[in-house]
Every structure is written in C-alpha cells, then in structure tokens.
Structure 1
Amino acid sequence: MTNQVKEDIAIVGAGPVGALLAVMLARKGYKIDLFESRPDSRTKALYQGKSINLALSDRGWLALKAIGLDEEIRAQAIPMTCRMIHAVDGSLTRQPYGRDNQAIWSVSRAGINEQLITLAEQQAGVEVHFEHKLTDLDFDSGTCSFDVSGKESADYHRELIFGADGTFSKVRRLAQELPGQRISYSLDYMPQTYIELTIPANSDGSFMMEKNALHIWPRKNFMLIALPNPDGSFTCTLFMDLQGELSFESLDDEDKVSHFFREYFPDAMPLLIEPVATFMAKAPSPLCLVHIDPWVIRDKVALIGDAAHAMVPFYGQGMNCGFEDCRVLAELVEEHQHHWGEILPAYQQARKENCDAIIELAKRNFVEMSDLAGDARFLLRKKIEAKFSEMHPDLWIPLYSMVTFSPELPYAQALAVGEVQKEIMDEVMNLPDIEQNWQAECTYRLLYQLAQEKLTANILPETVSNPLSPGSSQTLSKKKEVKA
C-alpha cells in the first residue's frame, strides 16, 4: 500500500453505480463526496412507476460480494430460473436460463439503491449530498458547481471527479462543450419506448403467475414482460414502437387500446390493474444507446455506468455492467498502487471495448425476446446448443451463459465467440430435415467438427470452465481473441 496522500474524490450521481463506487473507494482510504440531484428516496417516494425492475446476474453479484452486501440483497431478491413464454392462445413454454436452477434475480431498483446509499453513509470519509444539481464543472481545477435545493449555489474543489449521473449525464454534456476537446459521442433513441403496468398479488399475497420466472409475451415488433416482486405482485413493462401503424401514438383512444390488449395479451389483460386507463394516462419513456470516447477527460474527470455506456434493457446487463465498471476500477487502484495517472487510462482501456460489446448484444436481444423466443426453429436451435453444451461443456458455452453466468469472461470475448457460434449453428440448422434429425448422432459429430475447426483454432483456451457444467467454478482462463 502506497503512503502517498490520497486524492479527494467527488462522485456526481448517487444511483446504484455511484453509491457502489463510493463504498469501494472509501474502503481504499479516499475521502468521497457523493452528490445527488434528487431528494433522498428513503424519505421521499421517488420511484413509483418510474423504474423498470432490474435483473441482477453474476457480474453484479461479484461486485456486491466484494463489498459484503450480496447476501443482504439476495434475501430480498427473487430468482428467475427461466423465461416463461406466453403465446397468443394462452399456451406456456418454459425456457430454462441454465442448468441446476441457475437464475437471474429480480430486484427493486429503489431497494438496491437505498441499501447502497445507506452502506456508503456508514463508510468513514463519505459524505452524501442530496438535492445538489450540478450546474458547472471546471475540468482543469476540479471545481464542481451545484444548485442546492433550487435555492442557493455551492462550489466544491476535488482532485478527481466521476460522472455516474446516468444516460443524460450532465458531466458528459459539460465535457462535450469543452473548447478544443475532441470527443466522439452518439446518443441513439431506439424506435421502441415503454410504459409500466402492474399485476397485483392475490388477496392472500401469493403470485398470480409462476413466481420464479421472467414472463414474456413476444409479439414480434412489441412485447410485454413481467418480473416478480417480493410482495407477490409483478412489475410489467410494455415495449412498443413510439410511432407507426401499431404504436403508442396510433393507440390513441380507449377502444383501440382495449382491443389491442384483448387481441394480443388475452391471458394478461384480466390480471393487469386497469391496463387501458394506465396506458392512456402514461407517457411512454425512451430507450437510448450511448457511445462516447474518451471516457477520461483532462486526466481528472471520468465517466462510469450509464453516463459512459447506456444500453437498452434487453440483456438485463445495464446495472450489472455498471457494477462491473466499479469492481474493475477498484482492482486497478490496487494494481497501480493508487497512481491515478495510470489507473484512469487503464480503466478506459479495460472497459470501453467490453461495454461497446454489451451495448450491441443488448440491442440485438430485443429481436430474440420479442420475436424469436416464440419461433419453433429458434427454440430447436437452442435445444441443439444446450444438448451439445452438455456433451462438450469445455468446448461450447452458449452466448447467454457467457454474458450472464461467466463474470470473469469479458463481454467483448463473449461477443466474438458468439459470432463464431452463430456461423456454426447456421450451418447446422441448414442440414436437411434438421427438425426430424436434431438428436441424430451425425448432427453432433458435425457440430463437434465445426467447433474444433472454428472455435479452438482461434481461442485455444488452457481450460474453459462452463458455467452450465456441474461443479463449475465459473472462472475462465484468459484466451486469445477470436481472429477477424
């Protein structure tokens, strides 16, 4: 441990990522000021109807374990071991996420945020400032200017500043306005937007549908999903285009909305609380993709979480990826012995490529969830992959498992391997009569041959621990990048 005087740090944004970062850096001896533009949600209700439930998976759990909060949060989370696909005719199809009840976990954004803020306040050297809205930032001196409760202004000088203030980050916008600073930036709105609906608990507090599942009503260009809550209810999200022939804008009266729900979600409509009135009353919220380069400005200010890499929620990795940012950064602090001139460039290098990869994967996954999840050939493809993975667990890890259950495997590596797997499976699915012969020995001989040629020739792992295989340590050794 270095004996150098440690920098004072400001973190702008006290959402889950900002609060987690405050805890991790405070435990390394730094004085932290954590600023939040909103009031304290523990004393004022801020989240009602405003937040998609979050899916917490292994990357997020690994970061929470590093600060000892994983078991406390797990006690209030609900494991979802499968997708439950609802067809228009009401039939159900269960699609397990992994083996041996591997799960992603439904958590309340408000709940996990408040637990992290409470833990941050308990750390020596952390001060949390609510109702502090950033108005200006001097990127050379490190002076942050805030409106306080909308009544007065205050300035704080800190040696390092982290922008953890979300998709529409003020820190990022101020960086873009710097004269002479070369910043590449894009914020792309998806055609899909969303509103939230609710399925209540039964009168005895039990669940109206399967509790340990992420429920999906895939309807090609739109979908409804539902995540369970500890009180027996489900938070439902309707994703649909904002504009177009069938869209939020085209469904502009109660009769159209009622017909829409009866036609496409007949089994959900009687369960939802006033779906028509809720639909008419709510303005749909946008979904955005954010790319920016660089993440580090003037060697003093860095972006983290959604401020650096906002993504759509269709892979359930937004918060998990932000938590991984914090964990990687904390490890780099130790690796570079608290020398921030080395830490920040290493942080950007370690995370930028991987976050670009998961943004792309999340965007693609809308098609899988809304369309392919109910497609017979797609489901057959997944069956073949799952069987082959069981037969050769060290050779084939399904893409979803690489992303969700393999926290030591970088997102960029998962994307690269997934691209090769897709080529292989396209060839297998083009075999004559694959629907009848999918269990035939010759099918899996071909898969093995192709995997040996296209995967091991490019990756050459020492050992690959498949998270689907029994007794897996979920630790993957470093591999060579897949060749372009």
Structure 2
Amino acid sequence: MSGKHLTIIGAGLAGALLATLLARRGWQVDVYEKRGDLRELGYERGRSINLALAERGRHALRQANADDAVMAQTVMMRGRMVHFADGHLDLQRYGRDDSEVIWSVHRGELNEVLLNIAEQAGARIHFHHRLDSVDFDNRIARFGDDRNDEVREIRFQSLVGADGAGSSLRQAMAKVVELGERSDFLGHSYKELEIPPGPDGGFRIEPNALHIWPRGRYMCIALPNSEGTFTVTLFLPNHALPNHALPNHASPMQAAAPAVPGFDTITTGAEARAFFDRDFPDASRLIPELEHDFENNPTGLLGTLYLDRWHLDRRAVLIGDAAHAMVPFHGQGMNCAFEDCVSLAQHLSRTDDRAEAFAGFQAERLPNARAIQHMALENYLEMRDRVDDDDYLLQRELEHLLAARHPTRFVPRYAMVTFRHMPYALALERGDLQRELLVELTRGRESLDGLDWDLVDAAVVARLSPLPPED
C-alpha cells in the first residue's frame, strides 16, 4: 500500500461524505460497512428519526458537489407548527423568511445519494465487512461477514471511525489508549410511527413545517418526507412519572391523568391508540397503522456520548456519532458530523503528518461538539416544555425585534446554529448572553407595550459586541 490511503469504517452519512471529499482530493479511499448495500436491500424502517438538514450540512455537501442531488430529496420546513393541547395551531418560524429554513430528509434516501456520489468520486465501498478487531502495532484490521464465518485481514495506513454511536473502532481504540468515554442517557426514549399520504397522494397536514405536540414531560413530532408521508416520533419517559412532576401549565386533561405516561405503562398498540386519542387526537386520526407500528418498531434510546480523546496518534481517529453522539433535539447531529468531515479533510490536506492532522482536527472540533451537545439537551426542554409558554413567546417576540434592530450584534441562537457557519461554541456563548438580556427585559411583563426602546438599544450595544463576519 502506497500513496495517500485512508480506510474508513462505516458507510453511513459521514463515512460516505468523507470518502467523497478525500477521493476528490486525490486520496485512495476504502470504506468498510458491516451491513449490506441499502441501495439493494432497502432501508430498515423504525430505527431512525428523520433528519433536519441545515446550512452547515449544505455547506459540506456543496464541497462534495452533492448538494443538488440531496436537495432533490428534501422538503422545506419554515418553522415549528405547534399543536396546542386546546387544539389550536401556531407556526413559529425558524428565521426571518424563506431564506432561513431547514430541510427534512429521509436518512435512507440521503445515504443512497451519498453512496452513489462517493463511488463516482472513486471511493471503494465494501459491504458485509464487520470490524471485529484491530492490531494497531502491525496495522491490520480484521473483518467478519455476518453471512458466513469468513474473516478477512486488511492492512491499513490510518483508520477513520465513522461507524456511529456503537463504534467498533472506538472499542478497539479504547483497549490501547484512554479515551475518557462516558455516556449520559436521557431517561426518555422514542418510537417511530408514520402518517401516510392522503387519498390524492399529497400531504395530509401542512408539509412545510416540523409539527410538534408539546405536552410537558413528553411530546410528539412529525417531519415531512418527499413522497407525501410524515415520519412521526413519540418521545416518552422510560418510566411513568407521578402527577406532581407535571409543569404548572399542564392542561386539565393531563392533570386528570393518573401519571405522566412512560414506555413502561404504554406497552401495547391498543394502549398507544388510547393515549394518542387522549393527548394527540388530531395526530391519532392521521396514523392508521399506529397499533402495528407501535408494537413492531423498536424503542430507540436517547443519550449523549462524551470522549476526551478522539484519536490514536496517526493510526486512528473518530468522527461524527462515533466521537460525540448527541440527542436529536437541535437537528444538528448530521450537520455536525458533516462539519467534522470537512474539517478532517482540511487538516489532512495541510500536513503530511497524520498525527498532527488528527490532533488539530480534535482541537478544533471537540469544543464545538461539546457545545452543540449541550444545546441539543437544552432544546429538548424548550420543545417539550416551553414552546407554548407565555414568557417564552414574549421573549421570542422581543428576540425577533432585536435581531431586526441590531443585525450585527443580536442574532437568535437558533439562527446562529442553523443558518450560519460560526463555531458552535461561539453560538452557545452568545446565546447565553442574549438569553440573559431577554429575561431581564421581559421580566414581569405580559407584553412589550411601554418598553423603553432607547434603554433596550443601549443595553444591546453595551453588552453585545458585533459578531465576526461569516467566512
């Protein structure tokens, strides 16, 4: 083996994109995937929350000449369509207008597009190769095939782990170097359901929105797919909670229930249907296969993976969920992984010393991964508990006004994360400062009437320096 060669473990979204970026830079790239080719086998339903593609992800796709092909599979989402407990709806826009939106995309369809583009760029993809062990001293990776007992040994120069939260490469690395690995599980899990198309093949509810049914300690969301369906995801505690754990704004119907439901108390399709009829009635009538999907789709876990170290000198490095899995509530897991791919490709292009490149990649990306992991957890509480709160809605109203009055100083945190390329760590820091300001300016108010705008403007200028221009 000679020249610039890299071995990638995992042909999912990050593995396929990184393979494309490196192949286009003249690298020889081999990708090993434990599963079969999903383009032939189809994508397994029930195991993946739909993905929200944001500007960060599109920026990475453009560099791989993949944006046009991917965007053909997406549906625009202008904002959150909140389904309140009393039945009324409210569209809470993500940005100023249709120039600031996110895009719903099905994981399987996206993966197919990226695999095709990776192969067209010259990457070699080997399916049915499950990483079993790694001899780092002799640079040999051993792969097994789930279809038989065949074992194959592959020599490598460097390994990249793009094999997800349960990364086999990470497990192999942990045997020879301390990674500082720890996992924090949320105490909530999810179940995937589906709203089918209407009789005419079209969408049965507003297609250009992420629908959310917030109910305090639990919620339901629905994201559109290009074929007219919606992927519905129910988030519940793993264990039911007593009524005293309900927030103050819980509806009378919720307060009358014996407990906040959990996956330990809703176990059958019939119980799930009764629960939906009670708490999500407008969604329930749109999900004809609810009982079947609830009983047959797996219950997914939600957690955050933290590592203090992502690389083993020049021999191996981790990216995406293998390095920093996060809960899905900011829609940034994929976008963050795509940024990893761009960053790693850039560091490898700057130096022939792979240990230096891997260390530089970790130094750049680890603080930003920690920041978006934190914001993703915060966003769950916001989506679940706050989107129907009066104080939250008043702060959002002021936030949009300040963004219009001070566009170089005050950018909503969601916009910094979703529509810009600034480091996640900077978005977290600025977002915290801005939230403090919003809380102070709206404290004790029921509306913005009578607000002293001269004092407000002075506070913004005094406490928020101009943001650096976008690269």
Answer with 49-58 or 33-42: which moved more. Answer: 49-58
- Say whether residues 1:412 and 2:410 are aligned partners: no
Q: Is the 8 A contact 1:56 1:104 kept in 2?
A: yes
Which residue of structure 1 aligns with residue 244 of structure 2? none
Q: Specify whether residues 28 and 427 from structure 1 end up closer, same or farther in structure 2 by C-alpha distance, changes over 3 A only.
A: same
Contact 1:7 1:160 in 2 (8 A): no
Aligned to 1:388: 402
Matched-pair contact (CA < 8 Å) for 1:6–1:29: no
**TM-align CA RMSD:** 1.6
Residue in structure 2 matched with residue 467 of structure 1 by the alignment = none
Equivalent position of 1:435 in the other structure: 446
**Structure 1 residues 211 and 46: CA distance shift in structure 2, 3 A:** closer
1:226 maps to which residue? 222
Structure 2 gap ranges (5+): 242-260
Show CA shifts across 1:24-75 (max 9, x none). Answer: 1111111111000000001102322222110000000000000111011112
Give the corresponding residue for 2:459: 450
> When the two structures are superposed, what TM-score results if normalisation uses the length of structure 2?
0.92
- AA partner of residue 446 (structure 1): L
Give CA deviations for 1:412-435 in whole Å, capped at 9, x if unaligned.
Answer: 0000111111211121121x4x22
> How many residue pairs align between the two structures?
449
Partner of 1:13: 10
Q: 3-state DSSP class of the match of 1:314?
A: coil
* Whole-Å separation in 1 of the counterparts to 2:295 and 2:29: 44
How high is the TM-score relative to the length of structure 1?
Answer: 0.90
Q: CA deviation at 1:439?
A: 4.2
Q: Aligned partners of 1:269, 1:190: CA distance in 2, in Å?
A: 26
One-letter identity of the residue aligned with 1:424: L
Whole-angstrom CA distance in 2 between matches of 1:251 and 1:71: 42
The corresponding residue for 1:356 is: 370
Q: 2:119 aligns with which of 118, 121, 133?
A: 121
Note the 1:79-478 alignment, pairs <5 A. Answer: 79-101=76-98, 102-124=100-122, 126-148=123-145, 149-178=147-176, 181-245=177-241, 246-253=261-268, 256-334=271-349, 336-407=350-421, 409-430=422-443, 432=444, 434-436=445-447, 438-442=448-452, 444-456=453-465, 461=467, 463-464=468-469, 475=470
* Mapped partners of 2:268, 2:29: distance in 1: 51
How big is the shift at 1:360?
0.6
Partner amino acid for 1:447?
A: V
SS of the residue corresponding to residue 50 of structure 1 reads coil
Q: Which amino acid aligns with 2:427?
A: A
Question: Are the aligned partners of 1:34 and 1:127 in contact in 2 as well (CA < 8 Å)?
Answer: yes
Q: Residues 346, 362 of structure 1: CA spacing in aligned structure 2 closer, same or farther, 3 A cutoff?
A: same
TM superposition outliers: structure 1 runs of 4+ over 4 Å: none
1:238 shift after superposition = 0.4
Aligned-pair distance for 1:244? 2.1
- Which residue does the alignment assign to 2:251? none
Name the residue aligned to 1:58.
55
Distance 2:7 2:382 in 1: 40
* C-alpha separation in 2, matches of 1:395 and 1:292: 33
> Which structure 1 segments of 5+ residues have no match?
465-474, 477-484
Contact 1:139–1:297 (8 Å) recurs in 2 = no
* Amino acid corresponding to residue 445 of structure 1 in structure 2: D
- For residue 122 of structure 1, give the secondary structure of its aligned residue in structure 2: helix
Structure 1 range deviating more: 45-54 or 67-76: 45-54
Deviations 1:443-473 (A, max 9, x none): x3333232223222xxx54x54xxxxxxxxx
Using a 3 Å threshold, how does the CA distance of structure 1 residues 69 and 439 change in structure 2: closer, same or farther? farther
Distance across 2 between alignment mates of 1:18 and 1:255: 40
- 1:320 positional shift: 0.3
Instruction: Give the match's secondary structure for 2:142.
Output: strand
Give the residue type in structure 2 aligned to 1:131.
Answer: H
Q: Are residues 140 and 130 of structure 1, via their aligned partners in 2, closer, same or farther at CA, if it must alter by over 3 Å?
A: same
Q: For 1:320, what is the secondary structure of its paired residue?
A: helix
Deviation at 1:98, TM superposition (A): 0.5
Q: Deviations over 1:315-354 (max 9, x none)?
A: 00000000000111222233x2443232111101010000
Q: CA deviation at 1:222?
A: 0.8
CA distance in 2, matches of 1:256, 1:49: 19
Q: Residues 393-430 of structure 1: CA distance to partner in whole angstroms, max 9, x if unpaired? A: 111000000000012x0000000111111211121121
Is the contact between residue 73 and residue 110 of structure 2 (CA under 8 Å) also seen in structure 1? no
* CA deviation string 1:143-174 (max 9, x = no partner): 11000243200011111100000011111111
Structure 1 range deviating more: 316-325 or 276-285 = 276-285
Contact 1:192 1:242 in 2 (8 A): yes
CA distance in 2, matches of 1:256, 1:115: 38
Give the drift of 1:362.
0.4
Corresponding residue of 1:472: none
Q: Report deviation, 1:104.
A: 0.4
Change in 2 beyond 3 A, CA 1:341/1:274: closer
CA distance in 2 between counterparts of 1:257 and 1:14 reads 35
CA contact (8 A) 1:140 1:300 kept: no
